[in-house]
Copies of this chain bind each other. A is one copy, B any other.
Amino acid sequence: MPTPDLAVIGGGQLARMMQQPAIALGLRIRLLAEAPGVSAAQVVPDHVVGDYTDLDTLRAVVADAPVVTFDHEHVPSEHLQALQAEGHACRPGPHALLYAQDKAQMRVRLAELGAPCPRNAPISSVADLEAFGFPAVLKTTRGGYDGKGVWVVRSAADADEAFAADRPLLAEELVDFRRELSALVARSPSGEVRSYPVVESRQVGGVCAEVVAPAPGLDADLAASAKALAEQIATELDVTGILAVELFETTDGRLLVNELAMRPHNTGHWSIDGAETSQFENHLRGVLDLPLGCTHARAPWAVMVNVLGGSVDDLEAQRAVVLAAEPDVKVHLYGKAVKAGRKVGHVTAYGDDLDDVLARARRAAQLFTSGVDS
């Protein structure tokens, strides 16, 4: 295989979707996949199967790759520091990625930056939790995702499961929010920053269900604040590639930072079909320190709906049904086996009329999930 332009650690759908702009730009990806035949390994010829928690495996994968980037935040910091010391550019670097890996560190750092956050405190005991007060959201500081590692607790008894996990915990106030927003930015090591339109992210059971771009009816000042906040965080933390800042819009009209992700993010999938430059292309351009592309929307409205594993086992057979029902919805399947609730694809519709766009995207996703037309 020829020398890669970059190594991507992790073989999920995010790495898979990086391959499309890599093909266009003539960029060669080397992939570290968790197992044979995982989502990205199906479409990236130059891949190695191995364990991303093993430093020697990482060393072998990135050997001749000048830049290393990621499909997830789970590579141990000390390994990234070792790779950096050996001359590989990790983008984002471990000094930035730390704040996407550890929620307690993230809260401390965001407080230093003056970024608005829910009230929060590290929790080591029931006494700590009672001192913090109820209701609260308890989170493991590391490793949670899609609602896992998160508990809403209204009394000490509700926290048994959280304490049983025997992992560092953080308590946060239960925010009274109107909706969730997401502000995505791309940033390069040279310091170029480009913001995507702020979107509304609608969760079901802690999992992103659908995203509307831009967030309907969002106050222009609040949108500008969200963008400025995301740009500030990207710059101050020295993030490279995509940063997603998940936000609460509170019922009294403030923004609070919920989570950070330093990679292409589910709330940016709409950009593949809906923006001038997709988040995946700008992630590649960012981490390779290439000039970034325009982040503007190409249509007044875009709606992305996740395809979560449901009662349809054979997504590929169902593809013909979906395209017949909605020939102009853009379909993205990840090549993953269906399991209940698993993200196995997404669909995007766009156009001038939000109700129509929403209806088309939801119908397509529902046909993939339940097989039943709405």
Contacts and interface: CB of A to CB of B under 8 A. Distances in A.
Contacts of A41: 45
Interface string A47-86: 1000000000000000000000000000000000000000
A328 B23 contact: no
A43 B24 contact: no
A35 to B, nearest CB: 14
Contacts of A45: 41-45, 47
A28 interface: yes
A327 interface: yes
Pairs A-B, 7 closest by C-beta atoms: A26-B333, A291-B323, A45-B45, A294-B328, A291-B327, A291-B324, A20-B20
Tell which of A28, A315, A327, A332 has the most Cβ of chain B within 10 Å: A327
A292 interface: yes
A291 B320 CA distance: 7
Given A17-B23, A25-B332, A289-B320, 13 more contacts: A16-B23, A20-B23, A22-B43, A24-B333, A26-B334, A26-B345, A28-B335, A290-B319, A290-B320, A293-B323, A293-B327, A294-B328, A298-B299
Contacts of A316: 5, 26
A213 to B, nearest CB: 16
A23 B44 CA distance: 10
Interface of A: 2, 5, 16-17, 19-20, 22-26, 28, 37, 41-45, 47, 272, 276-277, 285, 289-294, 298-299, 315-316, 319-320, 323-324, 327-328, 330-335, 345
Contact of A26 (B20, B26, B315): B315
Contacts of A23: 16-17, 19-20, 43
Contacts of A19: 23, 43
A62 to B, nearest CB: 19
Contacts of A17: 23
Nearest to A16: B23
A24 B23 CA distance: 13
Contact of A42 (B28, B272, B285): B28
Contacts of A44: 45
A38 to B, nearest CB: 12
B327 A292 contact: yes
A25 B333 contact: yes
A306 to B, nearest CB: 15
A293 B347 CA distance: 14
Contact of A24 (B37, B276, B315, B330): B330
Contacts of A332: 24-26
B25 A331 contact: yes
A25 B327 contact: no
A319 B42 contact: no
Contact of A323 (B290, B315, B334, B335): B290
A294 B328 CA distance: 6
